[in-house]
Amino acid sequence: MSNLAYKRVLLKLSGEALMGDDAYGINRITIERMITEIADVVRMGVELAIVIGGGNIFRGVAPGAAGMDRATADYMGMLATIMNALALQDAFRQVGVTARTMSALNIEQVVEPYIRPKAMRYLEEGKVVIFAAGTGNPFFTTDTAAALRGSEIGAEIVLKATKVDGVYTADPKKDPNAVRYATISFDEAISKNLQVMDATAFALCRDQKLPIKVFSIVKPGALKQIIEGANEGTLVHV
């Protein structure tokens, strides 16, 4: 335990991270690789919670949602996160790690309702807790849910998993001279208009002094290296 940089973390996974190279949905090979790496970290003794997005599922119905009422579309997106959470929970089961899904929407026949003390107890017991349905409110993203749940459970850091290995001075896909920040303050990120998280989530993390680490979930071993304190990704701090 002494070699761990973090004991309790909140991992923010986008739904798109589950797609692999597919247009939408869940790529089985991708999710299995990802779960194996997360399970290795949990076995090291890290208390880990996950907030999952739903863009990979919702993307498949997006053309039909064009012109839809925003609140209705957001509730559909919340249901998509529950589908992803169940897929993650089952994938953890297959590698021998116990996971519990807790939803901000009440669907008790399928998932448990979110109850903070219960979530804390699960974490202390070494179970992975998957938070689904965002905050349970339309107009708020799963980034905001990650900031909120991370604050509520006393996480030491929010790990924002992306397909890029950190925050850059410019889009590295468009600018070959873009440079990755090793660390950057919240205020500097705001002044430079760097899109780390949506504005509400970013402000909440800053106010709660909850650091954010942006890293690549597709880079093998990156998550474990962060947990062990390696200089991986970009740290956003107060």
- Binding site for UMP, residues? 54, 74, 135-142
In whole angstroms, what is the distance from residue 206 CA to residue 238 CA? 6
Per the listing, tokens 């962060």 go with 226
Residue list, annotated binding site: 12-15, 54-55, 59, 74, 135-142, 162, 168, 171
φ and ψ at 40, to 5 degrees?
A: -60, -40
Residue list, annotated binding site for ATP: 12-15, 55, 59, 162, 168, 171
In whole angstroms, what is the distance from residue 77 CA to residue 58 CA? 6
Alpha helical stretches, state H, 99-220? 116-124, 142-152, 186-191, 199-207
Q: Tell me the β-bridge partners of 13.
A: 52, 161
| Torsion sign (Cα): 17, 185, 141, 102 | positive
Side chain identity, residue 26: I
In whole angstroms, what is the distance from residue 83 CA to residue 103 CA? 11
Q: Tell me the β-bridge partners of 10.
A: 49, 158
Q: Which residues of 189-213 are buried (b: 16+ CB within 10 A; e: fewer)?
A: beeeebebbeebbbebbbebebbbb
| Residues whose CB falls within 8 Å of the CB of residue 223, separated by 6 or more in sequence, listed in order | 11, 37, 38, 41, 159, 161, 215, 217
Side chain identity, residue 64: G
